Amino acid sequence: MIHQSGVSLHPGITVRAGPGLVVAYLLAHVALDSMSFVQPVLKLGITPLSPQTGLALAFLLAYPRGVGWVVLALLVSEVVIRGVPSPAWVLLLHALGVAAVYASAAHIMQRIGVAGIGATLSSTLRFIVAAAVTALAAALVGVGVYTAFGPVPQSMFGPALARYAVGDFNGILLLTPLLLRLPAAGMLASVIRQQPVAFTGVLLGIVGALTLVFLIGDPQDLRFFYLLFIPAIAAALTWGVPGFLLAAVALQAGLILGVQRLPEVAPLLDLQLLMSILLATGLALGAVITERHDSARSALQREIELRSRETSLARASRVALTGELASTLAHELNQPLTALVGYLRAGEIMVGERHGGDPRLAPTLRKAANEALRASDTLRRLRNFYAGRDPQLEPLLMQPLLAQIIDTLRHSDRVISAEIRVTPIDSGMTVYADRVFVGVILANLLTNALDATDGRPTRSVEIDATVSGGLVRIVVDDDGGGIPSPVHDELFKAFVTSKPDGMGVGLAVSRSLAEACGGSLTLGVSSLGGACFVLSLPTAALTGDRI
Amino acid sequence: MTLSVTEPIHKVWLVDDDAAVRDALRLLLELRGLVVESFDSAEAALSAIGVDSRGCVLTDLRMPQMTGLELMFELRKRSIALPVVVLTAHGDVSTTRAALRGGAVDFLEKPVDEDILADVLSYAISEDARVYQRRLETDARWARIGALTPRERQVLTLLGRGKQNREIAVELSISPRTVEVYKARMMEKLGCDTLADVVRMSLTLESA
């Protein structure tokens, strides 16, 4: 939820800026610049906070061709907010130089992959470093222009540079990730609504810390500033990067307000330097939290996926099993019913030949035979109902299919100590069969193998697949107890089992399913000393009818 | 043309692994006047059925070792043309198709209506008798043809191709009178009264 980035703002994918976006950008740029025009150097736009830089960078990341608009925004800001403090060409030169730095920075950020700003620690750290370099470069260019051609004296170069760089750095850290991850921040709002206590706590923390910094502590003394870390870090820990950014915006607004409204506070630059540290720390910490949340969530998703795969396999297995059960039951009961009908009809004929006796005997025998026929008919309907579906034959790649089945089984706890080895098979090996049927057969064979090896000191199950003569032979071998020879002949018959709690339908079902796919399931010779089964499936579509 | 045939016994060769089904069907069929010989497996039936066996086979489809279909194919492999009726508890389409394509006379589902069963079996038995009769006739014809001299056989062949006595005489470089003599002797040996009978006999020769 926190992780999802905006579709259009995904770095690397750029958007077409419509006039609405451009106008919104220009207005926001001027507004942000105006709001943060605090303690400037010589009434120039050199302030310890430049949120408009963060906006410009986000704009350029989303819309790399918008450099011209950034230049315009820089010029308009100067004129609207500060009048014309230096010659127009100097302003233009400044705007051009700084915009060029921002554009290059946006380009480089795209290249080094900041797609995961706020989502992964590594890309967040890369972003922080890139932001620092960008801020420094922009400060060098911007202050350089003003010093060389404009109003800034040589002696002021150092302090102006620091102020400019810190302002840009904070602006970028504060606003660029927030804007790029606006949808995530939007979603956060609903998350926060569900946690009113934590939200109130963080809010109170921010207000309380700001009060301490500005009202209770010595305004010149910044030792209380560190209290601001508490709510900021609490937000980062609770809601990851978006949560931290929202808290940081609130903090920053509080700082600006405090500096503007209260007399004799510490210079904003000092506050902003501390703010830089807070921003960098919070972003990195938030990224760690977000990353952890994401990986926990994807693990959960994987878990859910596995579970549903498991249940769908179990369901398919149960359906196949019921079908085989119904079919076997129908067959086994139909035999005595056939005999019964035969005897009754024979009896009827015999009675008919003989005269005397009760005249109701023949019709009674006929009725009894009809009842037997009715029972048989019910069985037939039962069998047809559970006959299962026709196989849906399609080409299936063996390698991923096997991997998926083993993965599903690994997930169930019976595999914990067993070793399943799959002989490397050709990645292009394909069978032409029903996906669910093959899944049920292999899961059944592997489950049998795992059950057979259960409780033994070494447990190993080997799977091998080879192609020969239009058939893929999949061999499942284990080092378990093997099949007792009395059972050999009847192994694939229903209700024959060597397991104490088994019903003896698994292999019968598996063989029926294999045959439905045009394949076969036979007992092989184990090389591990246990039981070995060979599943053969056609590699390609069978043409014509098969017998 | 008459052929005297000693009638062999037409039997229903019943194969089913289920003792009760076997017993009941046997009883039922015997009550209907059929002669039944029953076996508990396809293998046992195969050891008893030979080329001279008459009647028809009534077999269950699903049996532990050899199935009813396999029995049918094995009989064909041994050139035993006995009609086969397949009886099954599982009437699925693909096996039915395979059975019918393999030459089964019919495919019945258990429990079977004994009227239908009796009909199917008597049809199968009469079909077998018909085929057997035809085979006997062919055999008899061959026996008679075997008694012909080479010259008589040549005359038979040429007559069968629609040649006149004179043409035969030219082809065999003999006189038309001699042809007449051969023809008379040949017809007597074959027991033919008309030219149509001669042509039918020659067809047997041609088909070889």
The H helix count followed by the E strand count for chain A is 14, 7
Name which of A246-250, A385-389, A468-472, B133-137 the model is least confident about: A385-389
Q: Helix (H, G, I), strand (E, B), or coil: what is residue A397?
A: strand
The span from the CA of B160 to the CA of B154, in Å, is 10
Residue A543 confidence (pLDDT) above 60 = no
- Binning pLDDT at 50, 70 and 90, where does residue A409 land? confident
Q: Which residue has the higher pLDDT, A267 or B3?
A: A267
- Identify the bridge partners of residue A77 per DSSP, sorted by sequence position: none
Q: Are B39 and B53 in contact (CB under 8 A)?
A: no
A518: left (phi over 0), alpha (psi -120 to 50) or beta: left
Per residue in A488-527, pLDDT (tens digit) is 767 776 666 666 666 666 788 888 888 888 888 888 888 8
The span from the CA of A341 to the CA of A327, in Å, is 20
Q: Are B72 and B99 in contact (CB under 8 A)?
A: yes
Give me A130's structure tokens: 């890139």
Q: What is the pLDDT of residue B92?
A: 63
Q: Which residue has the higher pLDDT, A488 or A466?
A: A466
Per residue in B146-183, pLDDT (tens digit) is 888 888 888 888 888 888 888 888 888 888 888 888 88
Interface check for A349 against chain B (CB to CB < 8 A): the answer is yes
Burial class (CB in 10 A: 0-12, 13-18, 19+), A445: buried
For residue A129, the number of C-alpha atoms closer than 13 Å in the C-beta half-sphere is 10
What is the DSSP-derived secondary structure letter of residue A495? T
Q: What is the mean pLDDT of residues A287-292?
A: 86
Q: What is the mean pLDDT of residues A314-336?
A: 78
Residue A150 confidence (pLDDT) above 90 = no
Q: What is the pLDDT of residue A533?
A: 92
Other CB atoms within 10 Å distance of the CB of residue B169? 19
Contacts of A354 in chain B (CB under 8 A): none
- Binning pLDDT at 50, 70 and 90, where does residue A16 land? low
Interface check for A13 against chain B (CB to CB < 8 A): the answer is no
Interface check for B116 against chain A (CB to CB < 8 A): the answer is no
Interchain proximity B98–A345, CB inside 8 Å: no
Interchain proximity A372–B97, CB inside 8 Å: no
Compute the count of residue pairs across chains A and B with CB atoms less than 8 Å apart. Answer: 68
For chain B positions 139-198, those within 8 Å of chain A (CB to CB) are: none
Interchain proximity A337–B25, CB inside 8 Å: no
Q: What is the pLDDT of residue A3?
A: 38
Interface check for A184 against chain B (CB to CB < 8 A): the answer is no
**Maximum CA extent, chain A:** 141
Give me A497's structure tokens: 């089992």
Per residue in A65-116, pLDDT (tens digit) is 888 888 888 888 878 777 766 777 888 888 899 899 999 988 888 887 666 6
- Identify the bridge partners of residue B54 per DSSP, sorted by sequence position: B10
Contacts of B18 in chain A (CB under 8 A): 335-336, 338-339
Name which of A262-266, A509-513, A534-538, B76-80 the model is least confident about: A262-266
Interchain proximity B24–A339, CB inside 8 Å: yes
Interface check for B25 against chain A (CB to CB < 8 A): the answer is yes
Give me A313's structure tokens: 């396999």
Give me A20's structure tokens: 């609405």
For residue A466, the number of C-alpha atoms closer than 13 Å in the C-beta half-sphere is 6
Distances in Å between the Cα of B60 and the Cα atoms of A324, A487, B22, B55 are: 20, 24, 10, 17
For residue A98, the number of C-alpha atoms closer than 13 Å in the C-beta half-sphere is 32
The span from the CA of A98 to the CA of B4, in Å, is 122
Q: Which residue, A459, A89, A417, A46, is CA-closest to A268?
A: A46
For chain A positions 145-164, those within 8 Å of chain B (CB to CB) are: none
For residue A517, the number of C-alpha atoms closer than 13 Å in the C-beta half-sphere is 32
- CA B124 to chain centroid, in Å, comes to 11
Q: What is the pLDDT of residue B7?
A: 59
Q: Nearest-CA residue of chain B relative to A333?
A: B89
Residue B137 confidence (pLDDT) above 80 = yes
Contacts of B98 in chain A (CB under 8 A): 545, 547
Residue A212 confidence (pLDDT) above 70 = yes
Interface check for B70 against chain A (CB to CB < 8 A): the answer is no
Percentage of chain B modeled with pLDDT above 90: 28
The span from the CA of A200 to the CA of A206, in Å, is 10
Residues in chain B: 208
Percentage of chain A modeled with pLDDT above 90: 6
Contacts of A341 in chain B (CB under 8 A): 24, 111
Q: Which residue, B9, B41, B12, B40, is CA-closest to B27?
A: B12
Q: Helix (H, G, I), strand (E, B), or coil: what is residue A332?
A: helix
B159: left (phi over 0), alpha (psi -120 to 50) or beta: alpha
- Binning pLDDT at 50, 70 and 90, where does residue B3 land? very low
Q: Are B54 and B97 in contact (CB under 8 A)?
A: no
Q: What is the pLDDT of residue A546?
A: 40
- Binning pLDDT at 50, 70 and 90, where does residue A355 land? low
Residue B43 confidence (pLDDT) above 90 = yes
Q: Is the dihedral of CA A121, A123, A124, A125 positive or negative?
A: positive
Q: Are A442 and A514 in contact (CB under 8 A)?
A: no
Q: Are A402 and A426 in contact (CB under 8 A)?
A: no
Contacts of B27 in chain A (CB under 8 A): 342-343, 346
Q: Are A377 and B109 in contact (CB under 8 A)?
A: no
Residue A2 confidence (pLDDT) above 70 = no
Contacts of A545 in chain B (CB under 8 A): 94, 97-98
Q: Helix (H, G, I), strand (E, B), or coil: what is residue A484?
A: coil
Contacts of A368 in chain B (CB under 8 A): none
Find which of A345, A379, A487 to mutate to test the B interface (most B CBs within 10 Å of its CB): A345
- Binning pLDDT at 50, 70 and 90, where does residue A414 land? low
What is the amino acid identity at position A327? S
- Binning pLDDT at 50, 70 and 90, where does residue A17 land? low
Interface check for A523 against chain B (CB to CB < 8 A): the answer is no
Distances in Å between the Cα of A203 and the Cα atoms of A91, A186, A239 are: 40, 18, 14
Q: Nearest-CA residue of chain A relative to B19?
A: A339
Q: What is the mean pLDDT of residues A237-260?
A: 83
Give me A371's structure tokens: 């009842």
Per residue in A171-185, pLDDT (tens digit) is 888 888 888 877 766
The mean predicted confidence, pLDDT, of chain A is: 80
The span from the CA of A32 to the CA of A45, in Å, is 12
Residues 6+ apart with CB under 8 A from B194: none
CA distance, residue A527 to nearest chain B CA (Å): 27
Q: Which residue has the higher pLDDT, A83 or A63?
A: A63
Q: What is the mean pLDDT of residues A255-276?
A: 74
What is the DSSP-derived secondary structure letter of residue B7? P
Q: Which residue, A157, A29, A14, A27, is CA-closest to A95?
A: A29
Phi, psi of B13 (to 5 degrees): -90, 100
The span from the CA of A323 to the CA of A321, in Å, is 5
Contacts of B90 in chain A (CB under 8 A): 327, 330-331
Per residue in A444-453, pLDDT (tens digit) is 888 888 888 8
Find which of A366, A383, A512, A547 to mutate to test the B interface (most B CBs within 10 Å of its CB): A547
Label the pairing between strands A460-468 and B10-15: unpaired
Contacts of A340 in chain B (CB under 8 A): 24, 111
Give me A503's structure tokens: 């019903």
Give me A457's structure tokens: 């000191």
The pTM score is: 0.51
Interchain proximity A547–B98, CB inside 8 Å: yes
